[in-house]
Amino acid sequence: MKIIYSLLALSILLCACKDVSIPPPVKSDDKDKLTMDSFDEAFKPNKGRDVWQRPGEILDLLGDIKGKTIADIGAGTGFFSFRLLFRDAKVIAVDIDPQMIEIMNDFKLNLDEIHKNNLTTRLALPNDPKVIQDEAEIFIIINTIGYIQNRRSYLQKLVNLLPENGKIMIVDFKRKSLPIAASPIENRVPLFELENDFKNIGLTITESNDNMLDYQYILIGEK
Ligand SMILES: C[S@@+](CC[C@H](N)C(=O)[O-])C[C@H]1O[C@@H](n2cnc3c(N)ncnc32)[C@H](O)[C@@H]1O
């Protein structure tokens, strides 16, 4: 299992999540079940991310998510999707890149039955998350908002798909030079622009946090 995960990690090292193509994932028939530790061990490029991004504290801001359905837009290799899953949420891991879907599906094979049933991976289109009305109570968009074209209309689409009191959370990099690998600065959306977007699409901002993390802001809006 360790060798398989190491090969996978090597391929991920060549990939900045979107821009670089990676070889197809290695399938595992190992019977060991996936844990959050083994997932993190496989994705060495994410090492250190727990320190600067503090995903646990980010997810705490969503409150009790047990049993809730959360769509992770631009899920990538599933850094947040699997964390949501291990908090007993139901997760729709959405991505436009078939290789990301394949990687997550490969990890899904090693989940126990309960978590496996709680994870749906979904190949989407750039302008269509492929989530149906009221299917998700929360959308999270982590390290991804700058890649979404026609951002405002996309966000409006998400709001329309949410039930009343549904939420959108966006976490992304601040527009300043950072000592870590991050998206190009010109690709980053400033927090105030997203705050304006949220107001314009009918979301009430419940959290706009520029202080908790050194490198990132966190924005949450409620319908
Ligand atoms: C930088 S990665 C972030 C992955 C993950 N959220 C994380 O925090 O590790 C951005 C991901 O967004 C995906 N993506 C880009 N545009 C998208 C869109 N319009 N809809 C869904 N996914 C998209 C890319 O394929 C890529 O996997």
C-beta of 158 in contact with ligand 1 (< 6 A): no
pLDDT digit string (tens) for the chain, length 223 residues: 443 443 343 333 333 454 333 333 444 444 456 677 777 777 767 778 889 999 999 999 999 999 999 999 999 999 999 999 999 999 999 999 999 999 999 999 989 999 999 999 999 999 999 999 999 999 999 999 999 999 999 999 999 999 999 999 999 999 999 999 899 999 999 999 999 999 999 999 999 999 999 999 999 999 9
Contact 41, 5 (CB under 8 A): yes
- CB-based contacts of 207-212 (< 8 A; 24+ apart in sequence): 207/61, 209/61, 210/174, 212/54, 212/57
DSSP code at position 177: -
Between the CA of 146 and the centroid of ligand 1 the distance, in Å, is: 9
Domains, the chain, with CATH or none: 54-222 (3.40.50.150)
Closest CA to 204 of 155, 158, 167, 161: 167
Model-level pTM?
0.87
Nearest CA to ligand 1 atom 12: 74
Angstrom distance (rounded) from CA 7 to CA 84? 25
